[in-house]
Amino acid sequence: MLDIDFPLVLSWAVLISGAIWLFDVVVLKPRRIEAVAAVENAKGGGSVKLDAAAAEPLLVEYARSFFPVLLLVLVLRSFLAEPYQIPSESMVPTLQVGDFILVNKYAYGIRLPVIGTKLIDVGSPERGDVMVFVPPHDSRYFIKRVIGLPGDHIRYENKALFINGKRAPYEFVRQFRESVPFARGFVTVREYTEVLDGRPHATYRLTASDQSKSREWEVPEGNYFMMGDNRGKSDDSRRWGFVPEENIVGKAVAIWVQKDPGWHWPTFARNRWIE
């Protein structure tokens, strides 16, 4: 999940700075012009009084300076691309904690910021895409992989993924031990290469817990079924359901920098396109 709602913060910054600037143009500036004229016409009016009458309030000066910049950033972030940082392990090994990713906002259509209404239809999510979205149960941004498209039948049984009755192809890569808090010790993790519609990606599966449960879902029209690549540590559609089309933010396309939590320098060693 991605905790900070940057578009909302940025939208409010644009709205407030624009409102201050507009209020100055409509109300305050005419008053300053009148005050300057009164000082010039008055006998004994000096430069100090003239400067005071013409002075622009500091808040207005800041709003006038920042509004065009904030508006430009809002347009670029809302309609073209936006950076995010990965805060959790749900997409390991594809995305590591601390990865800064670039999200293509244009890939799935041009939308209004914050409310998400689509203005221009450019494309739709494809199975295997790594997508940023707002889940139905939370106001924060999440990032997961698109597993189920509208109309798909999804089954998850014994840690195996079935789409429309067919098991997703996979190949074992390696096995290792990892410390897991909820297991109070070490568990075995298996890495696989899974293939969705001809597109391979890495997944982690814990060998402990949830071994025999079988669950099935029918993806409604206009919705998507999302799962994290780190299947044992991902809070996803298996628990909270489907992602409505209007909640889509964009497609994650690249890792552009990585910074481990704490006092660590950023590194470009993980720069790559996201598969």
Distance CA 275, CA 273 (A): 6
Give the global pTM: 0.70
Give the residue among 136, 142, 132 at the shortest CA–CA distance from 105: 132
CA 70 to chain CA centroid, nearest Å: 19
**Unique residue bearing structure tokens 């920042």:** 66
Give the residue among 201, 267, 256, 266 at the shortest CA–CA distance from 82: 256
The per-residue pLDDT string of the chain (275 residues; one tens digit each, 9 = 90 and over) reads 555 566 677 678 888 988 988 888 888 888 877 776 776 677 555 565 555 556 678 888 888 888 777 776 666 665 566 778 888 899 999 999 989 888 888 888 776 666 666 667 778 999 999 999 999 999 888 999 999 999 999 999 988 999 999 999 999 999 998 876 655 677 889 999 999 999 999 999 987 655 557 899 999 999 999 999 999 889 999 999 999 998 888 899 888 888 877 777 878 888 888 98
- 3 state DSSP class of 213: coil
Q: Domain boundaries in the chain?
A: 6-78, 82-273
* Catalytic positions: 90, 144
Choosing among 3.60.15.10, 2.10.109.10, 3.30.530.20, 2.40.50.140, the CATH entry for 82-273 is 2.10.109.10
Residue type, 22: L
